[in-house]
Amino acid sequence: MKSRYEVAKNVFIDSIDIDDYIDLDSSVTAYQQLQHSMNKPLKMILLFGRPGTGKSILLNRIQEKLKHQKEIHYFDTPAINEKEFFHKLFKVLTKKDLPSNTEVNFAALVDFCKKLRGKREIIILLDEAQMYGTEMMEKIRLLSDSRAVKFVVSLHKTDDEDLIAKEHFQSRIWEVIELKNATKEDQTAYIHKKLLKKNLFEIANSIKEKNMQRIHRYTKGNYRECNKLLFTIFEICEYYDKNEPSKVNYAKISDRIIEMAALKLGYIHV
Amino acid sequence: MYDIKQLEDEWKRYRKKKLKPWYIGTGIVVVLTLFIIFFQTNLKINFNTLKTYFKTSKEIIPSDKNEKSEDTVVLNKMKVKETVLLDDALEELEVKDHMIELADKLVKESDNILVDIPILDDTNEHPVDEEIVARKKIHLEIIDSTSVSGYKDVEKRFFESHDIDDALFLAKSYYKNGNYKKAEYWALEANKLDDNKEESLLIFVKSKVKLGHKNEALSILMSYVKQSDSQEAKKLLYQIENNKL
């Protein structure tokens, strides 16, 4: 027999699935802000925040929503090298595959973009942009100068990445959107909504206010960490449910299980 | 699934570590509480001791004041000489006791001859012994009384028992101490109880002389000498007439 906790556990698998997107006050605000910025005549938009604050899912969400209205493309993982990146970009711009054994001439690509100005407006969503090298970022900047291609650059918020932003985009980025960790209320709503989306009403109710405070304390409101912790909590619950049911309180998730999960994930230490 | 048992053990260790400061804190609070309670209890004991000390002091101080108010000079002298005085008095009183005992025995013996009931001898002898013991007890009490309040106790006791020994003791003590007015008073009290007691009369006369009533004293003494032909009385008469008292 399948444990109820198995379903709950799977709700929190950390993946960028647009169907799992949860509308929260903070995420709705960020979404609207990004959409508004994209309508402005900007060359580049910087979306930054700490890992797990929902940058990738926001980019996915906006691409999914606007794909029928705008020419919008999402580059999820950074290209291994420059050649691969320009192959990808060539395909987006020309809507053709690059013939094999050929390379993109960057100067010709810039000229091509300049010719597109006023005719097409292409939006490129670059996720994990901190992984692009300095030279590559400079070429991206030159492409954005053509005004035919608009880049939304998503960066992790670290000191180094701030430096990248300063060096390469300072003069061109006209809009900066920062994503922050969730507040306790937002995180509570996030967990409840996720569970209710899968009709796990009883389990959602078994996570009490104090449990939420503890979860928020451990994860600091980070969505990715929250997913990891909830996944582990329900994994432990699933084990007890199947093997030692006396150790599970179905009405309330015990602090003990939350602490065990936190120990497992290294949020707390012996 | 990972090893849940290992995770449980880890959690137990974590819990122990987490609660450690609480246990230490609780321990410190308990120790401090016990220390405070112990400290306060000790303070109470000391306080009570002090209270008792002050109470005792208060009791002593007023009695001294009373004594001083009555006759400061006399009491000062008495404080110095009281031990000696009591010893002297005891010697004399003990002598008296022997005399009383002998007299009592003689009286009893004469009674026995007259009644001639041997059984009554035994029954009569025991109360006499008890009486003697009782009197001796009284004397012991006087000896034990080393403070000025001892005289007060004897006076108080006299008013209850009307014991001639107590009156004589006080008369002699006050005379030796120079309190002639009181000596005169207690000599008169002793004489009231037994007007044949030469000792009381002699102290009375000597006190009169000391108080400046020499003529009155001589008149009383001369009439006594005529009546009793006492050698002690004659000796005193000679001393008074020649101002050698």
Residue of B7, B13, B15 lying closest to A264 (CB–CB): B7
B35 CA to chain A: closest CA distance, Å? 34
CB pair distance less than 8 Å for B4 and A236: yes
* Chain A residues near residue B8 by CB distance under 8 angstroms: 260
Q: How far apart are CA A224 and CA A204, in angstroms?
A: 19
The predicted-structure confidence for A232-246, as pLDDT tens digits, reads as follows: 999 999 999 999 999
Look at A263 and B4 and tell me if their CB atoms are within 8 Å: no
pLDDT band at residue A159 using 50, 70 and 90 as cut-offs: low
Q: Calculate mean pLDDT across residues A152-162.
A: 73
**CB-neighbour burial class of residue B1 (10 A; exposed 0-12, middle 13-18, buried 19+):** exposed
DSSP β-bridge partners for residue A72: A123
Distance between CA atoms of B209 and A60, rounded to whole angstroms? 137
Structure confidence at residue A254 (pLDDT): 95
User: Percent of chain A, pLDDT > 90?
Assistant: 55
B-chain residues near A260 (CB < 8 A): 7-8, 10-11
Whether A270 sits inside 8 A of B17 (CB atoms) is yes
Report CB contact under 8 Å: B11, A269.
Answer: no
Which whole-number Å values give the CA distances from B9 to A106, A228, A248, B202, in the listed order? Answer: 60, 22, 17, 108
Average pLDDT, chain A: 88
**Predicted local distance difference test score (pLDDT) of residue A228:** 96
CB contact under 8 A, B8 and A259: no
Reported pTM: 0.57
Residue position matching structure tokens 């002091």 = B57
pLDDT at A256 over 70: yes
Residue A44's pLDDT is what? 87
What's the pLDDT at B16?
Answer: 93
| CA pair distance A7, A132, nearest whole angstrom | 38
Return the higher-pLDDT residue of A163 and B233. Answer: B233
Distances (CA, A) of B86 to A68, B69, B143, B148, B165: 132, 23, 6, 11, 13
- Give per-residue pLDDT as tens, B20-78: 999 999 999 999 999 999 988 876 655 555 566 666 655 554 444 454 444 455 445 45
Residue B190 has pLDDT above 50, yes or no: yes
Give me A244's structure tokens: 């030692």
CB within 8 Å: A259 and B14? yes
- Nearest CB neighbour to A256, from listed B1, B4, B11: B11
pLDDT, one tens digit per residue, over B108-146 is: 444 444 444 444 444 444 444 544 444 444 444 444 444
Most confident segment among A120-129, A131-140, A224-233: A224-233
**Range name among A148-162, B131-145, B176-190 with the lowest pLDDT average:** B131-145
What is the pLDDT, as a whole number, of residue B30? 95
User: Measured between beta carbons, which residues in chain A are less than 8 angstroms from residue B2?
Assistant: 264
Average confidence score pLDDT of chain B: 72
Chain B neighbors of A263, CB-CB under 8 A = 7, 10-11, 14
Residues 6+ apart with CB under 8 A from A212: A184, A187, A188, A191
Q: Do A263 and B15 touch (CB under 8 A)?
A: no
pLDDT on residue B125: 45
Tell me if B141 sits within 8 A of B33, measured CB to CB.
Answer: no
Instruction: Assign A210 a pLDDT band (cuts: 50, 70, 90).
Output: very high
pLDDT tens per residue, range A7-19: 999 999 987 777 7
When pLDDT is cut at 50, 70 and 90, the band that residue A203 belongs to is: very high
Q: What is the ipTM of this complex?
A: 0.79
Is the pLDDT at B158 greater than 70? The verdict is yes
Q: Which of A223-232, B84-93, B110-119, B223-232 is predicted most confidently?
A: A223-232
Give the chain A residue whose CA is nearest to the CA of B16. A270
B contacts of A243 (beta carbons < 8 Å): 4
pLDDT of residue B65: 46
Contact call for residues A129 and A153 (beta carbons, < 8 A): yes
Nearest to A86 by CA among A67, A72, A70, A102: A102
